[in-house]
């Protein structure tokens, strides 16, 4: 499995997770409950994405690429 060809929807979900996590980690975030629920939903989508049917290898690579994508934007 090549760790560089993640599906677009998986990369977008990781990006949304990173953004939500940062918003929740900010000092005095607004609407904490909504952010926590969103983070939980995104976590479930990441964990159970069909891409992982062949095993969990590459999850750290996905996180690394998600962070790299954040720096590009």
Spell out the alpha helix ranges (H) of 1-73. Answer: 8-25, 32-47, 59-72
In three-state secondary structure terms, 44 is helix
pLDDT in tens, the chain (73 residues): 445 689 999 999 999 999 999 999 999 998 999 999 999 999 999 999 998 887 777 888 888 888 887 788 7
User: Radius of gyration of the chain from Cα atoms?
Assistant: 13
Of 38, 67, 51, the C-alpha closest to 10 is: 51
Q: How far apart are alpha carbons 59 and 52 in whole angstroms?
A: 9
Residue 66: the pLDDT is 85
Residue 28: the pLDDT is 92
Residue 4: the pLDDT is 63
Output the pTM of the full model. Answer: 0.79
Residue 1: the pLDDT is 45
């Amino acid at each position: 499995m090549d760790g560089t060809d993640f599906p677009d929807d998986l990369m977008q979900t990781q990006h949304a997770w990173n953004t939500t996590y940062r918003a929740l980690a900010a000092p005095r975030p607004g609407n904490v409950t909504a952010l926590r629920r969103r983070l939980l939903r995104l976590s479930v989508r990441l964990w159970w994405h069909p891409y992982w049917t062949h095993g969990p290898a590459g999850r750290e690579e996905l996180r690394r690429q998600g962070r790299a994508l954040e720096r590009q934007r």
